[in-house]
Structure 1
Amino acid sequence: MTSTDKRDRTAEIAAAADAVVSGTGLVTVDAGRTGRRIDFVPSAPSGGWSPEVRGDTLLVELGASPTRESARRAAITAGARLRDGDAVTVSAPPELTGPIIDGLITGSPPGAAVTLLVDRPQLPAALRGQLAADVARLARLLVSAPANLLTPGVAAGWAARIAENAGLTCTVRGPDEVRAQGFGALAAIGGGSADGPYLVTLDHLPEAGAPEVVLVGKGITFDSGGLSLKSPAAMQSMRLDVAGAVTVLAVMAALRRAGCSIPVRAVLPFAENLPGPGAARPGDIVTAWNGTEIQILDTDFEGRVILADALALAADSAPRLLVDLATLTYQAEIALGPEIAAVLARDDDAAAEFLAAGSRAGEPLWRLPYDERYLHQVRTPSGVRNHPLHDSGRAITAALFLGEFVPRTVPWVHCDMTGPAWSGNASIDGATGFGARTLLELLARA
């Protein structure tokens, strides 16, 4: 990695963050018409969404019963046909305008300045699609950034920079404050890295009072497994373990532009899980911010440990809804495959609200049982342990562990997006931005 690469990555993230806040990305959306068109039609697709050129029109068949997800996927394919300087009119079913504009922007070639024009009644939906594409792009760039460029301290710095530009109130606790203020779980996992752990709190509309919705994201900037070291192959893609936190950060950056009128808080724990001199050992017992003892039996089960402190702090404000987003367990991917995220919740109404947001966003989610019959695998006589000592049901026991840090009076949803957070091998920028669109929809209706 050369210094030029580093500057280019940094500039790209900065431009994407500015685009989320201001809506001034390379692809612009407006009302109007021009000679060239892209027509999306709900008919049986021929050739798997291969766009067909008919004169000055690019025809894209969506299938007989297109969904928001399938429409966005088709538009991503069509977006690859756009070129720098293009100005095209987009014709689409009104209910699919947002995801189609989102897909066209997402699929457009990097660096291409393009204008997408729609009929004026469809402009509000088109602008929402543009915002979703901008937010997902920022999330993808942050997740895909090499771990030597996105350390915990750098991630906290991006949060502070974005907060200033987006009108958010930001509090950054550095390594010393994390330890001094009793965040023993986060301090333990971050102790093996020279960079140390950081805990970031962001507030949208803090003057409106206590937050109605609090978002928490897992922010492991690199996961080696700590002293419970992963295999070399399993480590290759572990920069993706920051996906939950930076996806939440990207969404927070968009709230002012989205016109979100409710107070929203984000709690983002950042740490690097390395086997350094201060690393946690298997068998160590640490105390979380809410006073609960955690026995760390496996340092590669680190995500739930840092989330324990973050969830305890998030729940302390007694929000109407608490949501955490995390690449937490491989067993969620085993259960649901690589494209569907797992949702676990104690509260049926909270789960239904989150699943409905995912449906509107076109992001596939599936609810798994939050079944307390396995709670004995998590609890110890004096607290909890981070490893269930069983090989099966680990997506459930991970959620049960987290639930020990969220009072039952707080409606809470846990989203394990291990599978859909990344697509492709470890050598490419494979982050998908999954979860960003669902959170935007959730806050738009909250």
Structure 2
Amino acid sequence: MTSSDKRDRAAEIAAAADAVVTGTGPVIVDAGKADRRIEFVPSAPVSGWSVADGTAVDGDTLLVELGDAPTVETARRVAIAAGARLSGGPVAVSAPPALIEPIIDGLITAAPPGNEVTLLVDESQLPSAVRGQLAADVARLARLLVSAPANLLTPSAAAAWATRIADNAGLSCTVLGPDEVRAQGFGALAAIGGGSSDGPYLVTLDHLPEAGGPEVALVGKGITFDSGGLSLKSPAAMQSMRLDVAGAATVLAVMAGLRRAGCTVPVRAVLPFAENLPGPGAARPGDVVTAWNGTEIQILDTDFEGRVILADALALAADSEPGLLIDLATLTYQAEIALGPEIAAVLARDDEAATRLLAAGARSGEPLWRLPYDERYLNQVRTASGVRNHPLHDSGRAITAALFLGEFVPRTVPWVHCDMTGPAWSGNASIDGATGFGARTLLALLT
């Protein structure tokens, strides 16, 4: 990637971040009418209907078939297909009131770049349409951050983006650099980031810090690139590993939108950023390190790095005793094996916490499914003096990963873990395949 390419990518991320904060992206939403229309209908009322793409043009009106019983998810998917046909200027949107939010979201998500479009809706639907616009803007920022090449979104660059976003979005922000991470006892994060010349960073963001302690705390896995460390991945397995920052990038994008969303809930985000490389300071299989809460971690496999950096972040986030703690991570391929590439796994020892996240996913049209948090497998995680990052078993690893994380969250803190390995990316490693999954769910939960 040339310096010019990097500037173009950085400018695109900056524009997307500004759009999240201000709501003035290339596609905006307002109330009103226009000569050109997009109508979302249950079935096709005209003879020129094309089953192939589900749309037909009748004069200045684009007709889009929703089907007889559309869900939030299917409505957004249909709108994404229609959004690719948007061109510049005002367009009126007609849709069922209950689905206007995901439909506006989908239209904006798919709008071709370079076109300035105004989507006009009935006055009564404007609040829902504006929420759809915010969801699309936040998800786009998450996609751009995750899809950015790893030589652009390094740990230090990720921390710099977090600082810039915090300044613009009215968030308080604390950044610990590599020396401070080590000095302040974040031994788990320091170990995983020690192999890279661009060392680990720990970012804390607060929305409404003046309200006191956070009611909700969010943690995201922020591995900007994962080679596996000394437990080196195969070349093919490394190709898409810029996606491993998806949890932290998604949380950062959501935090950027909270003021615009009118969120009245105090929210804290703790984001550990590291690059997992086999450099001179890399952790070795068998090393024992001490996490921020004093728990010893035996690192048996340096490619099981995500749970290690999350250990420090979860311990710090739990220390403020939030009413709900959520972590997002691309943590285990076994979650994808269990649920396929489009459904995220939810694991929790607290039923109410799990229910809140699952309900938010249902409202936002992002598929989540609960897997058991079963402590019968704790002996695969615990050692005589702490925990180990590898369970020494080939099965049940989505569960044992969650059990490992649970050792860093006191039982008094309601906590839920979301493993989004499958739905965080779509397509091959060569394309910008980040999906922004999880952003809409967190927005629904917090607003």
Whether TM exceeds 0.5 here: the answer is yes
Counterpart in 2 of 1:4? 4
Q: Is residue 426 of structure 1 aligned with residue 426 of structure 2?
A: no
Offset at residue 87 of structure 1 (A): 1.1
Q: Which letter maps to 2:435?
A: T
Partner Cα separation in structure 2 for residue 300 and residue 63 of structure 1: 45
The equivalent of 1:197 in structure 2 is 200
* Matched ranges for 1:19-58 at <5 A: 19-43=19-43, 47=51, 49-58=53-62
Where does 1:167-206 land on structure 2 (aligned, <5 Å)? 167-206=170-209
What's the secondary structure of 1:18's corresponding residue?
helix
| Preserved contact between residue 49 and residue 74 of structure 1 (Cα < 8 Å) | no
User: Displacement, 1:111?
Assistant: 1.8
State how far apart, in whole Å, the 1-side matches of 2:118 and 2:262 are: 23
Question: Is 1:320 equivalent to 2:323 in the alignment?
Answer: yes
Is 1:306 the equivalent of 2:309? yes
CA distance in 2, matches of 1:144, 1:334: 23
- What are the superposed Cα offsets for residues 174-213 of structure 1, whole Å, 9 maximum, x if unpaired? 0000000000000000000000000000000000000000
Q: Please list every run of at least 4 consecutive aligned residues from structure 1 whose deviation after the TM superposition is greater than 6 angstroms.
A: none
Shift of 1:286: 0.2
| 1:362-381 pair list within 5 angstroms | 362-381=365-384
In the TM superposition, residue 110 of structure 1 has moved relative to its aligned partner by 1.3
Letter aligned with residue 84 of structure 2: A
Determine which of 351, 355, 358 is the counterpart of 1:355: 358
Which whole-Å CA distance do the structure 1 matches of 2:19 and 2:347 have between them? 33
Aligned to 1:62: 66
2:299 corresponds to which letter in structure 1? I
Report if the CA contact (8 A) 1:27-1:105 is conserved. Answer: yes
Which of 337, 340, 349 aligns to 2:340? It is 337
- Out of 65, 75, 78, the residue aligned to residue 79 of structure 2 is 75
**Deviation for aligned residue 1:49:** 4.6
Hey, what's the Cα distance between the residues in 2 that align with 1:417 and 1:23?
27
Contact residue 46 and residue 61 of structure 1 kept, 8 A: no
**1:245-272 per-position Cα deviation (integer Å, ceiling 9, x unaligned):** 0100000000000000111000000000
**Partner of 1:440 in structure 2?**
443
SS at match of 1:13: helix
Superposed, 1:379-398 pairs within 5 Å as 379-398=382-401
For residue 43 of structure 1, give the secondary structure of its aligned residue in structure 2. Answer: coil
| CA RMSD between the two structures | 0.9
- What is the rounded CA distance, in whole Å, between the counterparts of 2:395 and 2:39 in structure 1? 48
Name 1:157's counterpart in structure 2.
160
**Alpha-carbon distance in 1 for matches of 2:299, 2:41:** 55
Measured in 2, the distance between the counterparts of 1:256 and 1:154 equals 23
| Distance in 2 of aligned mates of 1:331 and 1:110 | 36
**Aligned equivalents of 1:215, 1:112: Cα separation in 2:** 34
Match in the other structure for 1:291: 294
Deviations 1:396-439 (A, max 9, x none): 00000000000000000100000000000000000000000000
Shift of 1:42: 2.3
Q: Does 1:207 align with 2:210?
A: yes
Specify the alignment match of 1:130 in structure 2.
Answer: 133
Structure 1 residue 2, shift from structure 2 partner: 1.3
Is 1:258–2:242 an aligned residue pair? no
1:103 maps to 106
Q: Deviation of residue 290 (structure 1)?
A: 0.2
Aligned to 1:411: 414
1:203-282 equivalences under 5 Å are 203-282=206-285
Describe the SS at the equivalent of 2:359: helix
Deviations 1:161-181 (A, max 9, x none): 000000000000000000000
Rounded to whole Å, the distance in 2 between the matches of 1:161 and 1:202 is 11
In 2, Cα distance between the equivalents of 1:198 and 1:212?
Answer: 24
Aligned residues: 443
The whole-number CA distance in structure 2 between the counterparts of 1:442 and 1:262 is 10
CA contact (8 A) 2:50 2:56 kept: no
Distance 1:421 1:48, change over 3 A: farther
- C-alpha separation in 2, matches of 1:43 and 1:249: 39
1:4 positional shift: 1.2
Q: Deviations over 1:368-393 (max 9, x none)?
A: 00000111000000000000000000
Of 159-168 and 48-57, more deviation after overlay is shown by: 48-57
Residue 43 of structure 1: CA displacement?
3.1
> Could you tell me how far apart the structure 2 residues matched to 1:281 and 1:43 are?
60
Instruction: Structure 2: state its 5+ residue gaps.
Output: none
- Is contact 1:218-1:306 (8 Å) kept? yes
* CA distance in structure 2 between the aligned counterparts of 1:343 and 1:443, rounded to whole angstroms: 18
